Every structure is written in structure tokens, then in C-alpha cells.
Amino acid sequence: MFFDLLDVRNGSDVDCGSGPPKRTLIVASTPRCGSTMFCRTLWETGRVGAPKEYFNPTQLRDWGVRFSRPLPIRAAYASLRGPATGVLGRLPWSDRGLRTYIRTLQTHRTGSDGWFSTKLHWHHFQRVFVRSGREPSTFFGPIAWVYMAREDRVAQAVSWARALQTERWAARQVEKRTPRYSRPLIDRTLRWIEQGEAGWEAWFQQRVVTPIRVTYEGYASAHGPETCRVLKELGIEMELGGIPTPPTRVQRDEINARWCARYRSSR
């Protein structure tokens, strides 16, 4: 029986599995910091596998549709759409279940150079690893870390608040509701960003991890050189001319600009 996927990039036609990974790349981030655009560029280079937000509910739903057994469980995953997928973000992980899921991802999304890559927002990382005391390397193997943040936190918070209202998380999607300015909501998303950034910084310090740092602003102004720099720090040499144009479009527009100005003027 065929069940459709919510995200076409979870399909078998874009799998790149080539055996167990030699190394894992984790892009640590918070929502709306440009990490999707950055990860898509990394994916298009063909050098680090297929970095993606594999622990968000939509991704968990699609991979459950692809690989869950028996059929009734696959059907249960397939029935989840829209906000209903959020239930998957609240279910607890067993060590066995987590290991099986990661192994499945690695089997199908490890690039020819031996890299498996994923993106983890702080709230996903906190839920799956931090609160349970799990060490990521126990499940992923050797890890290289990239940490991406946005210097303009207000713009990031506005983008997150708007996406929550409209359910439009990518430029290809259509807004389901008309966005309306809400200072309390922007306050909330700004607080989540600050908590997420503080969480990552504390975790890196505790584990004596020195991530490769990328900012949205630096990447947006020079995506080619920034991507080359990151790859070089990972030990991957690539010419600037080989870096593809980001396949995603920037979503910010005059509404975002007005909201940012209004929020800043009332602080």
C-alpha cells in the first residue's frame, strides 16, 4: 500500500546511502536562523550526505511511513498531518528505538565521502539527548559540530512568530492564515531563541566542544566562501566555483520589516 510523504526530500529517490558513516556532522541551531538554507547548500555540494532536520515531527512522520512495520503502524503515521504530527515530538525515545532510527537514517543518507549529516534545533536536542543524559556520540559515532546562529534575534523571532501563525515554514508553502502582529508572541519566540542559544553554549562548554561557527548574516552575504570555509574546517577541499546557489528562497518581506520596526520601537 502506498502512503504519501509530507516532504518529498524524505523519499527514496533522494537517498544517498553508501554504508555506515565514517563521521557525523551535526548542525546545531535554533529555528529561523537560516539553517535550512545552509543545510540545503551543504547537501547540494554532494560532500556531506543529506543534512536535514530529521528529529522534527514532520520528518519523524515521513520516516515512520517509510520504514515502520507492521502495516497498521505505517497507516497510523500516515494519518498524521499538519499540527497532528506534533504528537510525535512529545513521544519518549527508548535507547533501542533511537539507535534504530539513527541507523535507518545513516543507511539511507550517508554520502559517498562517508559523512552522515543532520540538523538539530536545541529543543529537539534537549528532548532526545540532554534530558535523558544521552551522549550523542554513543548513537552517532564521531561528531563534527557546526553551530549556526542569527545576529539579529528580533528578525529571527519575528520570522518564527509569523511561521507559527501561518504554518508556512518554507517559501514553497502557502500561508494558511493571515499573519497578525503580536508582541506577546514575538516576546515568546525571542525568549525561546535566547534559551536555545544559551543551552547550546552551555552544552558546548561542558563537553569542551569547539563548534565551527556560522552566522545567518555571514552566510547570506557570502554563501559560497562561507560554505567553502566550513567544508575546509571539516577537512573537505572544494573550489568556490563548485558551491551551488542555495536552492531555497528567503522568506522575509515587507511584513517582517514592519513587524521588526514596530517591535523595536516599543521596547
What pLDDT score does 249 carry?
63
Residues in the chain: 267
pLDDT at 2 over 80: no
Q: Is the pTM of this model over 0.85?
A: yes
Residue-wise DSSP of 56-95: SHHHHHHHHHHH-SSHHHHHHHHT--GGGGGGGGTSPPPH
pLDDT tier at 251, thresholds 50, 70, 90: low
Query: Angle at the Cα of 145 (from 134 to 53), degrees rounded to 5?
Result: 75
Alpha carbon distance 205, 182 (integer Å): 35
Q: How many CA atoms lie within 13 A of 147 on its CB side?
A: 18
Q: Taking the chain, what is the end-to-end CA distance rounded to the nearest angstrom?
A: 55
**H/E element, 196:** helix 183-207
Once rounded to an integer, what is the mean pLDDT over residues 95-104? 97
Residue 84: pLDDT over 60:
yes
Kindly tell me if the per-residue pLDDT of 252 is higher than 90: no
Contact (CB, 8 A) for 34 and 150: yes
Q: How many CB atoms lie within 10 A of CB 230?
A: 25
Q: Sheet containing 23-29: which strands, arranged edge to edge? A: 115-121, 23-29, 143-149, 212-215
What is the mean pLDDT of the segment spanning 140-147? 97
Mean pLDDT of the chain: 93
Closest residue by Cα to residue 155 from 266, 36, 262, 52: 262
Rounded to whole angstroms, how far apart are CA atoms 64 and 42?
25
Cα 197 from Cα 176, distance rounded (Å): 29
Q: 196 burial class (0-12, 13-18, 19+ CB within 10 angstroms)?
A: buried
Print the SS3 string covering 144-177. Answer: EEEEEECCCHHHHHHHHHHHHHHCCCCCCCCCCC
Q: Return the pLDDT at 33.
A: 96
Q: Is the pLDDT of residue 59 over 60?
A: yes
| Confidence at residue 162, expressed as pLDDT on a 0 to 100 scale | 94
User: What would the pLDDT profile of 160-178 be if each residue is shown by its tens digit?
Assistant: 999 999 988 776 777 778 8
3-state helix, strand, coil in the chain (%, to 5): 55, 10, 35
Residue 1 has pLDDT above 60, yes or no: no
Tally Cβ neighbours within 10 Å of residue 22: 12
* Domains of the chain and CATH, by start: 8-152+208-252 (3.40.50)
